[in-house]
Chains A and B, each alone.
Chain A
Amino acid sequence: DGGITQSPKYLFRKEGQNVTLSCEQNLNHDAMYWYRQDPGQGLRLIYYSQIVNDFQKGDIAEGYSVSREKKESFPLTVTSAQKNPTAFYLCASSGGTGGRNEQFFGPGTRLTVL
């Protein structure tokens, strides 16, 4: 099956810890994205990558970091600098970065800070 996988489904973090969320796709897509979703709000873009070894900040990149060493993988690290990390995190990919290319989403990771 082609698609996007995210792991883990649920993640608990103590304050002051860094955690890494995994995102893998086998759709052979060049572009990948990370979004954050909070209750009652739309999705907000954290980081995106148009090609391997390249990525750009989105609207709320502070306290997050990413890497894109392989085409199929785009892990997100939530650092201790992120002041309010409890949220639902969604990874997406698209075949191109033009506006007409729909994005395909993974099932999400729910992060809770204890």
Chain B
Amino acid sequence: AQSVTQLDSHVSVSEGTPVLLRCNYSSSYSPSLFWYVQHPNKGLQLLLKYTSAATLVKGINGFEAEFKKSETSFHLTKPSAHMSDAAEYFCVVTPSGFQKLVFGTGTRLLVSP
């Protein structure tokens, strides 16, 4: 069975400092992995995805994530946080060939001036 664990329910950073949102996954198959962002009362927007190509994936708005099979991790990072990055972030896994997404419980990123 596939599952995703987001290790922090909340992360607080100051504007201009690095962001690290942690995600560990469990999958019996070679997975596809995604990070989505959700601003309050909005739909989800895709930040980036890993589908067995390069292990370092670059996304929109300066975010990137590294797929580490040995650690079963797919942590999301950004070198310098902006106020506009404050939102909820979801790590998502799906085994290749299947359509069902398995969502983590989300990490709320708070950015202070």
For residue B32, CB closer than 8 A to chain A, the reply is: yes
What total of chain A residues lie within 8 Å of the partner, measured CB to CB? 30
Scoring B36, B42, B44, B105 by chain A CB atoms within 10 A of each residue's CB, the highest score goes to B44
* Inter-chain contact B97/A98, CB cutoff 8 Å: yes
Whether A102 contacts B96 by the Cβ 8 Å rule is: no
A42 touches B103 (CB 8 A): yes
Q: Which residues of B contact A45 (CB under 8 A)?
A: 100-101
Given A40-B9, A101-B99, verify A106-B43 contact (CB < 8 Å). Answer: yes
Say yes or no for A103: interface residue by CB 8 A criterion. yes
Verify if B28 is at the interface (C-beta below 8 Å from A).
no
Chain A residues packing against B (C-beta within 8 Å): 4, 6, 31, 40-45, 48, 50, 58, 88, 90, 92, 94, 96-108, 110
Query: Could you tell me which B residues sit within 8 Å of A by CB distance?
Result: 4, 9, 31-32, 34, 36, 41-46, 49, 51, 90, 94-101, 103-106
